Structure 1
Amino acid sequence: MTAIDLNADLAEGFGRWTLADDRAVLELVTSANVACGFHAGDPGTMRSTTRDAVERGVSIGAHVGYRDLAGFGRRYMDVAPAELTDDVLYQLAALDGFARVAGDRVRYVKPHGALYHAMAHHEAQALAVVEAVRAYDPRLPVVGLPGSVVLRLAEEAGLPTVREAFVDRGYLPTGELVPRGRPGAVVHDPDQAAARAVGLATTGTVLAVDGTRVTATADSLCVHSDTPGAVGLLAAVREALGSAGVSLRPFTTGH
């Protein structure tokens, strides 16, 4: 039987502001990318989300980003590599503290938003993130797009790597994601998302916005919790994967 991980970005509220129904999402995923306070999140949110994840047996990942609360981490920032390494270390260590208080630990690192996309091709920033993970815990996997610079550099540094594909995001013929704000950037229909998830899990391919089929070999599938109707999308994806004989399990060890 084919098996794959299903992840979502969580804890992306701040103060009194709540972005998504994190508890409902945690009932449906196997891995939780928990915001660490730089692009979103705060100590209380980080603690409650890690606690809820541990209670449900969901693997905890550090969702690190640029120091950009106002822009939700979706604006590229020309951060010096040494500063970026320190920023990632700060976020990773903070979330790991809350995860350990909850009875587990951070199991992987997945950058957020503009940093995630920059690391697909930006050597200096990708290396800065890899250096932070290597310094903190070289056992931690790094999550990224297949063929990205960051996964190559992580492998060269001896770090485990995880290839990720997106169920709720449109793809360009190049295999990159359609930039947000452009037509076809976000998938809203649960049936379409479910069909994409099954295709990604069983064939490693996905239809691009121009109708061509592109390779997107993945170890983990992502649905963004801030996508409208995310809980419904996740439920449809889980049901479709199960019907297709695909089981769900975290890519990390210890669960």
Structure 2
Amino acid sequence: MSEHDSLSHARDIAPLILLIDDVPDDLRWLTALLRPDYRMAFAHNGHAGLHKAQALRPDLILLDVRLPDMDGFSVCRLLKADPLTQAAPVLFLSACSQPQERVDGLAVGAVDFISKPFYPEEARARVRVHLELAAQRAASEATTVAARAEGAERHPDRLLVQEATRYIRAHLAELPPVPELARRLGLHEKRLLALFRDHLGQTVSGFISEERLGHGARLLSETTMSVQDIAQTVGFTNPGNFATAFRHRHGQSPLAYRTAAREQLPPCTA
């Protein structure tokens, strides 16, 4: 595979959809419908959905209006209030056809509704349209930022590094060994190692470790996720390994780091 092909392959990472629903039949139906084209993540109640959204930063969220612990409108309101999750379009799943419910959903930040019972072509079309709109907004913002950066380096090697680091950040929980990672990016292992050494001054493994611990630190300070869930989200096989690596990097345990981070937050004002 050529380096041009490797860039195209990395850009083709399927969008991630977070499905927040506690109805087994809905989960099975939507998974069968969407998994061929998208990556899927799941949560069975509102609180778990908020944590998953913070950790995974999905491209789109499908949210049931009726959840066992809190209503979907409250979940949507919290998603839109959080800088970590506010950019993801939210589509409500609802068996109710009352106009007021749709108005309430749009008022808290949702972009659309998918009615139950589901119609396959309609559901796929709504998901596709809102992913495309979100991608267009993101591309427009990225173009604006790029236009402001004078003399930005566009060397092919740097583009390869950018795509490789983007892939790593998008797959922290499930990264393969470095030789397989290089193959997925369309590169030889030695080529990938040389790119990271020359452009980032790091080994690939060192970069992955820094990203995992950095993302773990952000989740500790910005969410209420458990240490075990954070460890799994950033790619550690067990929380003990995560705690050991975190202490070595930050000089304190994950729980101590979380406590210190919260003490430094500005007080809430009425």
**Higher Rg:** 2
Please report the TM-score for the alignment, with normalisation by the length of structure 2.
0.29
Query: Is the helix fraction higher in 1 or 2?
Result: 2
Which is bigger in relative contact order (C-alpha 8 A, separation at least 6)? 1
Please report the TM-score for the alignment, with normalisation by the length of structure 1.
0.30
